């Protein structure tokens, strides 16, 4: 039998490795930014075009590389961070496996320009699909510039699986946020399609958060600090009243590296238990400094999933730290039994002496004495004259009609008939509706009855209504007496700009859109002023989660989100008129059986079904 096992060629092995390291353009951005940080850069620029599909460029002022190091950096498992296996358990740098540049070069056109501080000239290397096209000497500034063009040019199947430019750009922005937040001591610039999006100077952690998420975020932050032998915790949490329905502003950093940890996330949620509304999520920016030997960051190719040696202790410390911060800064009500009572004394009374109150008693007061009218003056009672009281009623000599009482109607308490017979008469009437358990609406038909889920039915009604308004652009809008000013982060502002036209089609009226503030002058009739912030946050969250963002899918997503947010919820009481209107509007829809999310809106129970129950 012939041998069937063979070694893969290097270019094929590199492409397979690239599938683990480079999942989308955001993966390239993450690897290149981390390499720039490891190169001790103090200024980093990120340049992106067409969602990273056409160009990704990272320029830094780090230590640079020699010509030999520049060429070796594109070989697999070539690294300057590890010399022996034990080094894997004591890592303080970002990239260490030596796979990033080799994987990127296998699936893209890559150009590197680098120079060290000691050299007068640098190196310029061009690689396409793992093949070195050229390596020459060039005059370049100190540091390194990496250009990645035409990502997945030699793997069309992978390129077809990339999402739209807007979706890929949002993933790149998320990676940029994670790296920039973890290193506030480094200045970052971010350019997208020729325009500057972020310009973050070197600053402290709080100001870095404010620069990324807007000026309004400063008032939301509550500091968290805890220093123990196991972990040192620092950072900020957001006040409970600013909890959102989306999970956008939630960041864990372990040794200056962004991580994802559902276990630690559960600890933070436990600290907020009872302080936030159900279905909302708190924001937090928490940095954990632990011993590098107690953390394993090599369990996943993206290095965002880590393993701690003592997770249970870390969980308890994190939960208690967040709770302590909420109580320390009076975010939650608390009773302090150790407070000094002298602190309660007003400042203006601090030098005044203590004096006993004086009590005066009227010895001549007789409680049994009949007095026609009294007025109190100070601590004594005195009589007033009642002479001339008849003059108070002059002009009111109109005779009173004593027979008017005969026209009064009194409510009768007599019960006519039985309440059960009245109820049966209503059921026999076709079209009668009533609400069951504040969740279902039951209406009678000729063949039996229909049980309608009120929330799903209203979602279907609103969905078709909003979709129609977006299509014909004739929605009714109500103007606000005072325009609303809502604050958002820069990436959320970009999303609102993308869906602005469709929002205007359903009835929203926008004013000026500033760097961090959106002015709203009008809203759809069905939206109340207090719901605008919630609706906008839900729209942004759903838009970030959507895969397709073409014209139709954007309109469909917008209609679904508005219908889900503004529909009648389970537990709301509807009067008889509202029940009837909901039933009529549902059966006037084009699709009556399913909600916008493909769930049944009603079921039919026939008279035969009921008869079989009594056999």
Kindly write down the DSSP assignment for every residue of 574-590, as one continuous string: --HHHHHHHHHHHTTSS
Task: Enter the tokens of residue 57.
Answer: 């460029």
Angle of helix 454-472 relative to helix 576-586, nearest 10 degrees, comes to 60
For 347-404, the pLDDT digits (tens) are 566 667 777 778 778 788 887 876 555 444 444 444 455 566 666 666 655 555 555 5
Average pLDDT rounded to a whole number, residues 151-176: 86
Between 430 and 200, the higher pLDDT residue: 200
Average pLDDT rounded to a whole number, residues 176-202: 92
Average pLDDT rounded to a whole number, residues 439-465: 90
Could you report how far apart the first and last alpha carbons of the chain are, in Å? 72
Confidence of residue 479 (pLDDT cuts 50, 70, 90): confident
Angle of helix 532-545 relative to helix 490-498, nearest 10 degrees, comes to 90
Prediction pTM value: 0.70
Confidence of residue 122 (pLDDT cuts 50, 70, 90): very high
Please list, residue by residue across 506-539, b when 16 or more beta carbons sit within 10 angstroms of its beta carbon and e when fewer do: bbbbbeeeeebbbebebbbebbeeeebebbbbbb
Domain ranges within the chain, ordered by starting residue: 10-200, 205-328, 434-602
pLDDT value at 414 more than 50 = no
Q: Give the whole-angstrom CA distance, residue 243 versus residue 245.
A: 7
Q: Give the whole-angstrom CA distance, residue 244 versus residue 248.
A: 8
Q: Give the whole-angstrom CA distance, residue 103 versus residue 108.
A: 9
pLDDT of residue 422: 42
Poorest-pLDDT segment among 195-199, 339-343, 517-521: 339-343
Check if the beta carbon of residue 24 is closer than 8 Å to that of residue 171.
yes
According to DSSP, residue 21 is labeled H
Contacts of 530 (CB under 8 A, 6+ apart): none
Confidence of residue 93 (pLDDT cuts 50, 70, 90): low
Confidence of residue 346 (pLDDT cuts 50, 70, 90): low
Contacts of 206 (CB under 8 A, 6+ apart): 218, 221, 223, 236
Max mean pLDDT among 247-256, 313-322, 390-399, 477-486 falls in 313-322
Poorest-pLDDT segment among 130-139, 160-169, 227-236, 413-422: 413-422
Confidence of residue 33 (pLDDT cuts 50, 70, 90): very high
Max mean pLDDT among 108-117, 324-333, 372-381 falls in 108-117
> What CATH class has 205-328?
alpha beta
Confidence of residue 441 (pLDDT cuts 50, 70, 90): very high
pLDDT of residue 25: 92
Average pLDDT rounded to a whole number, residues 174-189: 94
pLDDT value at 147 more than 90 = yes
Average pLDDT rounded to a whole number, residues 24-50: 92
pLDDT of residue 419: 40
Q: Give the whole-angstrom CA distance, residue 601 versus residue 593.
A: 5
pLDDT value at 287 more than 90 = yes
pLDDT value at 128 more than 70 = yes
pLDDT of residue 429: 43
pLDDT value at 423 more than 60 = no
Nearest Cα to Cα of residue 288 among 323, 254, 264, 256: 254
pLDDT of residue 451: 93
CATH number of 434-602: 3.30.1370.100
Element (H, E) at 309: none
pLDDT of residue 425: 44
Strand ordering across the sheet containing 602-606: 433-436, 440-445, 448-453, 602-606
Nearest Cα to Cα of residue 197 among 492, 518, 536, 546: 492
Q: Are strands 284-289 and 250-254 parallel, antiparallel or unpaired?
A: parallel
pLDDT of residue 154: 85
Confidence of residue 308 (pLDDT cuts 50, 70, 90): confident
Kindly write down the DSSP assignment for every residue of 432-444, as one continuous string: -EEEETTTEEEEE
Q: Give the whole-angstrom CA distance, residue 602 versus residue 51.
A: 44
Give the E-state strand segments of 335-431 in sequence order: 374-377, 380-383
pLDDT of residue 375: 45
Among residues of the chain, what percentage have pLDDT more than 70? 78
For 223-275, the pLDDT digits (tens) are 999 999 889 999 999 998 888 877 778 999 998 889 988 899 999 999 998 88
Average confidence score pLDDT of the chain: 81
Q: How far is the CA of 484 from the CAs of 242, 246, 518, in angstroms?
A: 17, 21, 8
Confidence of residue 481 (pLDDT cuts 50, 70, 90): confident
Confidence of residue 215 (pLDDT cuts 50, 70, 90): confident
Taking residue 137's Cβ as centre, other Cβ atoms within 10 Å add up to 11
Kindly write down the DSSP assignment for every residue of 64-119, as one continuous string: ---HHHHHHTTSTT--SS-SSGGGGGS--SS--SS-HHHHHHHSSEEEEEEE-SS-
Poorest-pLDDT segment among 85-99, 239-253, 293-307: 85-99
Poorest-pLDDT segment among 341-345, 489-493, 601-605: 341-345
pLDDT of residue 427: 39
Average pLDDT rounded to a whole number, residues 76-97: 61
Confidence of residue 506 (pLDDT cuts 50, 70, 90): confident
Q: Give the whole-angstrom CA distance, residue 25 versus residue 46.
A: 13
CATH 3.30.565.10 fits 10-200, yes or no: yes
For 536-568, the pLDDT digits (tens) are 888 887 777 654 445 567 788 888 888 988 899
Q: Give the whole-angstrom CA distance, residue 227 versus residue 211.
A: 27
For 522-538, the pLDDT digits (tens) are 988 888 888 888 888 88
């Amino acid at each position: 039998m012939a041998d069937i096992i063979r070694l893969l060629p290097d270019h094929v092995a590199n492409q397979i490795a690239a599938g683990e390291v480079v999942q989308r353009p955001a993966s390239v951005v993450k690897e290149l930014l981390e390499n720039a940080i490891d190169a001790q850069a103090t200024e980093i620029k990120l340049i992106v075009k067409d969602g990273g599909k056409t160009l990704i460029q990272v320029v830094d002022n780090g230590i640079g590389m020699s010509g030999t190091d520049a060429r070796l950096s594109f070989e697999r498992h070539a690294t300057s961070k590890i010399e022996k296996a034990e080094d894997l358990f004591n890592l303080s740098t970002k990239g260490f496996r030596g796979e990033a540049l080799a994987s990127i070069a296998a699936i893209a056109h890559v150009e590197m320009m680098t120079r060290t501080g000691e050299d007068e000239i640098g190196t310029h290397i061009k690689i396409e699909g793992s093949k070195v096209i050229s390596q020459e000497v060039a005059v370049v500034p100190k540091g390194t510039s990496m250009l990645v063009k035409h990502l997945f040019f030699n793997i069309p199947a992978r390129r077809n699986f990339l999402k739209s430019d807007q979706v890929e750009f949002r993933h790149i922005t998320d990676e940029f946020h994670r790296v920039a937040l973890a290193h506030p001591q480094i200045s970052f610039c971010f350019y997208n399609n020729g325009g500057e999006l972020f310009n973050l100077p070197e600053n402290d952690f709080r100001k870095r958060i404010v620069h990324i998420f807007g000026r309004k975020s400063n008032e939301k932050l509550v500091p968290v600090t805890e220093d123990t032998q196991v972990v040192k915790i620092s950072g900020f949490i957001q006040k409970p009243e600013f909890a959102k329905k989306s999970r956008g502003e939630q960041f864990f950093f372990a040794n200056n590296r962004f991580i994802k940890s559902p276990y630690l996330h559960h600890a933070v949620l436990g600290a907020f238990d009872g302080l936030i509304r159900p279905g909302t999520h708190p924001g937090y920016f928490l940095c954990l400094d632990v011993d590098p030997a107690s953390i394993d960051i090599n369990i996943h190719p993206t290095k965002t999933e880590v393993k701690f040696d003592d997770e249970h202790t870390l969980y308890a410390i994190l939960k208690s730290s967040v709770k302590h911060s909420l109580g320390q800064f009076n975010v939650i009500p608390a009773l302090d039994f150790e407070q000094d009572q002298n602190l309660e004394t007003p400042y203006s009374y601090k030098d005044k002496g203590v004096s006993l109150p004086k009590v005066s008693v009227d010895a001549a007061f007789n409680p049994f004495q009949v007095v026609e009218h009294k007025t109190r003056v100070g601590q004594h009672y005195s009589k007033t004259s009642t002479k001339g009281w008849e003059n108070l009623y002059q002009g009111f000599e109109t005779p009173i009609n004593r027979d008017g009482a005969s026209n009064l109607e009194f409510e009768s308490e007599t019960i006519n008939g039985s309440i059960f017979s009245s109820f049966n008469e209503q059921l026999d009437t076709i079209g009668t509706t009533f609400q069951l358990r504040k969740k279902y609406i039951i209406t009678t038909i000729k063949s039996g009855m229909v049980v309608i889920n009120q929330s799903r039915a209203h979602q279907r009604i609103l969905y078709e209504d909003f979709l129609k308004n977006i299509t014909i652009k004739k929605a009714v809008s109500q103007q606000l007496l005072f325009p609303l000013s809502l604050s958002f982060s820069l990436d959320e502002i970009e999303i609102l700009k993308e869906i602005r036209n469709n929002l205007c089609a359903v009835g929203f009226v926008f004013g000026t859109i500033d760097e961090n503030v959106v002015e709203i002058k009008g809203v759809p009739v069905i939206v109340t002023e207090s719901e605008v912030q919630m609706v906008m946050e839900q729209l942004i969250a759903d838009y970030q989660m959507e895969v397709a963002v073409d014209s139709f899918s954007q309109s469909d997503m917008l209609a679904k989100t508005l219908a889900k947010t503004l529909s009648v919820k389970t537990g709301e009481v509807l009067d008889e008129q509202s029940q009837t209107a909901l039933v009529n509007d549902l059966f006037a829809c084009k699709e009556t059986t399913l909600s916008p999310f493909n769930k049944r809106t009603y079921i039919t129970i026939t008279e035969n079904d009921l008869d079989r129950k009594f056999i």
